[in-house]
Amino acid sequence: MDVDLRKLRYFVAVAEELHFGRAARALDIAQPVLSRQIRALEEDLRARLLLRDKRGTTLTPAGEQLLADARPLLANADALRRRVGRAARGADRFTVGSLPGLAVSAPIRELASRHPGLTVDVVRTGWDDQTDVVHDGRVDVSFVRLPVDRHGLQVRPLTTEPRVVVLPVGHRLAARKSVSITDLAHEHLVRDPAAAPEWRDVATGVRAGSRHARTDVRTVEERLEHVASGAGVVVLPLSVATFHSRPDLTHVPIGDIGPDHVCLVWDASRRSPLIHEFAAIAEERHRSLETT
């Protein structure tokens, strides 16, 4: 039996909303059409996926299993569509992913100058999707900051830079020329502690089993808002702290913490000459900057 991806998309919309009306509006289809498609999917799979009553819509155990399996299946289908589209366009377009704060214009200009007919695009990424854009085919290469999951990726180290702690201007450590990681042991970290294992190893709250890190704050801007409000501190690469500078915050070097690592990554299964050419250009550019 072949599974209809369109019906799967309809099902995921309903499963996430748990409301047929809202799902139909999000999909821009009529609610009766959506209901028929869900019934058809249940008939295809010979399983009841959703229960509807006056209290609302709920998932059955089979529906919960299908939702868990459908999300990666649909993501892979979207990635396949993008990769095929990229191949159909030929070698006239190259897309680079980059986090804010990274200087990537020089290697991009160099690649474009070598290939006058090539269009080079840039996609801004975030901390949470810096490798997703490679896996799903949105970009050819992506500039990332470690740590990342290296599975399925080719990783080319480029450069390192110091890490700093970002603090409110009135913080007790704000006037210091530098701090040590132990100075931050009692602070709340507005970031996943896995991103700063040195802090995690000394943090009194983590060692005591209480939560001293915010893992639900996703973007740099959100983290800085929490820092400015006095909810904690955040450890960032120097260039990121500088890029997002604001008058109510300051940053202080951390003297005994390892540097941030910037790398270029791409899908390890790809053999594109443009990818390897761009990687060589980026590596040479960063090497020349380090020697000047």
Q: Indicate left, alpha or beta for 285 from its phi (over 0: left) and psi (-120 to 50: alpha).
A: alpha
Please say if the pLDDT value at position 81 is more than 90. no
Helix (H) / strand (E) containing 52: strand 50-53
d(CA 146, CA 264): 10
DSSP state of 263: E
Helix (H) / strand (E) containing 67: helix 61-89
Is residue 227 helix, strand or coil?
helix
- The pLDDT, as a whole number, for residue 126 is 86
Average pLDDT in the chain? 86
The residue assigned the tokens 């996430």 is: 16
Chain segment 8-62, per-residue pLDDT in tens: 999 999 999 999 989 999 888 999 999 999 999 999 999 999 998 878 899 999 9
- The pLDDT, as a whole number, for residue 91 is 59
108 neighbors 63 (Cβ within 8 angstroms): no
d(CA 130, CA 136): 11
| pLDDT confidence bin for 249, thresholds 50/70/90 | very high
- The pLDDT, as a whole number, for residue 167 is 96
d(CA 46, CA 146): 45
Is residue 64 helix, strand or coil?
helix
- The pLDDT, as a whole number, for residue 207 is 46
d(CA 32, CA 39): 11
Domains of the chain: 5-82 (1.10.10.10), 91-160+260-291 (3.40.190.10), 163-253 (3.40.190.10)
d(CA 277, CA 113): 13
Q: Indicate left, alpha or beta for 230 from its phi (over 0: left) and psi (-120 to 50: alpha).
A: left
Chain segment 136-162, per-residue pLDDT in tens: 888 999 999 998 889 989 999 999 999
Q: CA separation (Å) from 290 to 28, 76, 103, 283?
A: 53, 39, 14, 11
- For residues 276 and 54, the model is more confident at 276
Q: What is the mean pLDDT of residues 107-128?
A: 91
d(CA 285, CA 292): 11
- The pLDDT, as a whole number, for residue 217 is 64
Q: For the chain, first and last CA: distance in Å?
A: 62
231 neighbors 190 (Cβ within 8 angstroms): yes
Q: CA separation (Å) from 91 to 177, 224, 269?
A: 50, 40, 17
- The pLDDT, as a whole number, for residue 191 is 75
Chain segment 209-244, per-residue pLDDT in tens: 444 455 556 688 889 999 999 988 999 999 999 999
Is the pTM for the entire model greater than 0.85? no
Q: What percent of the chain has pLDDT over 90?
A: 52
d(CA 178, CA 127): 26
Chain segment 181-217, per-residue pLDDT in tens: 889 888 888 877 666 777 767 765 544 444 445 555 6
Please choose, from the candidates 139, 147, 130, the residue with its C-alpha nearest in 3D space to the C-alpha of residue 219. 130
Structure tokens at 258: 């390892």
